[in-house]
């Protein structure tokens, strides 16, 4: 039984969340908790429902069933904009951009409109540049049009834009896709740095070196259902996870 007192001990509690698209059940009765200050990894095969679940939590999709509580408040069904104001931000698997803007302007939009902290244009630009520097965006491209940036540069802009909204909870969808091992290592350090700055994180990753290197706990989805949850070591040794996702190379 989910009680208000229980919810207040968690940053986020999803209870029996379900989402269908036509006859396809993308998320099936998922229960999930996220503690304040935690990094929670979300993994599973393609089509497991990971991105759909993040989209429900962020307000991009509305659940067909179930509830979501954030800091003790029932936020089920609230819009993306309202949830951003409450401190929930999300990055996307495929970077969303404003092609007519330069990098700094794209982040300024979030600094100005993404939260209740009111700033002027000058302060917003300084804040945007600070966030771009934080995510190691190239300094010589701060005023470059987004249409001229490569995929990884766009991802860094997107992350800076999310951070500019001053989130308490950051939902990250495959930030490291396409990175080489050195870049993945840098990404692990950056994710931990964001958490150490006071932001709780839930992230989707397919690179197991990243997800095990950064996560306090991991939740595994398969065909929309949660099939495992625990520490990285627990999950890596779960036979059902090995069979459905990891493969025998992870088996002891």
- Residue 105: give the domain boundaries: 98-165
Residue-wise pLDDT tens digits, 139-170 = 999 999 999 998 888 889 999 999 999 999 99
Token pair 């495959």 is found at 174
Cα 112 to Cα 110: distance, rounded to the nearest angstrom: 5
Which of residues 119, 136, 165 is at a domain's end?
165
Region 62-67: mean pLDDT is 96
Q: Give pLDDT, residue 9.
A: 66
Q: If we measure between CA atoms, which residue out of 227, 194, 226, 191 comes closest to residue 212?
A: 191
Is residue 92 one of the residues assigned to a domain?
no
Residue-wise pLDDT tens digits, 5-26 = 444 368 999 999 999 999 899 9
Residue 117: band (very low, low, confident or very high) from pLDDT cuts 50, 70, 90? low
Q: Is the pLDDT of residue 36 over 90?
A: yes
**Whole-prediction pTM value?**
0.89
Residue 219: band (very low, low, confident or very high) from pLDDT cuts 50, 70, 90? very high
Q: Is the pLDDT of residue 178 over 80?
A: no
**Residue 119 burial (10 A CB sphere; 0-12, 13-18, 19+):** middle
**Residue 27 burial (10 A CB sphere; 0-12, 13-18, 19+):** buried
Parallel, antiparallel or unpaired: strands 73-74 and 65-70:
antiparallel
Say which CATH number the domain at 47 has. 3.40.50.300
Which of residues 144, 165, 186 is at a domain's end?
165
């Amino acid at each position: 039984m989910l009680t208000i007192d229980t919810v207040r001990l968690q940053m986020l509690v999803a209870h029996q969340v379900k989402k269908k698209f036509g006859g396809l059940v993308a998320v099936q009765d998922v229960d999930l908790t996220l503690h304040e200050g935690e990094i929670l990894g979300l993994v599973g095969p393609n089509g497991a429902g990971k991105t759909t679940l993040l989209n429900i939590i962020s307000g991009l999709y509305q659940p067909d069933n179930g509830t979501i509580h954030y800091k003790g408040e029932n936020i089920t069904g609230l819009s993306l904009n309202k949830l951003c104001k409450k401190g929930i931000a999300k990055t996307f698997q495929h970077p969303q951009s404003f092609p007519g803007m330069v990098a700094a302007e794209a982040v300024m939009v979030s600094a100005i409109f993404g939260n209740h902290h009111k700033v002027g244009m000058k302060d917003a630009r300084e804040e945007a540049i600070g966030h771009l520097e934080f995510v190691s965006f190239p300094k010589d491209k701060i005023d470059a049009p987004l249409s001229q940036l490569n995929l990884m540069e766009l991802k860094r802009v997107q992350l800076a834009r999310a951070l500019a909204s001053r989130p308490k909870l950051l939902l990250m969808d495959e930030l490291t896709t396409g990175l080489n091992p050195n870049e993945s290592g840098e990404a692990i350090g950056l994710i931990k740095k964001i958490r150490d700055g006071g932001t709780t994180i839930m992230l989707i990753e397919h690179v197991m070196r990243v997800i095990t290197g950064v996560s306090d706990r991991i939740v595994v989805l398969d065909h929309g259902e949660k099939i495992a949850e625990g520490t990285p070591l627990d999950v890596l040794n779960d036979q059902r996870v090995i069979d459905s996702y990891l493969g025998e190379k992870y088996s002891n």
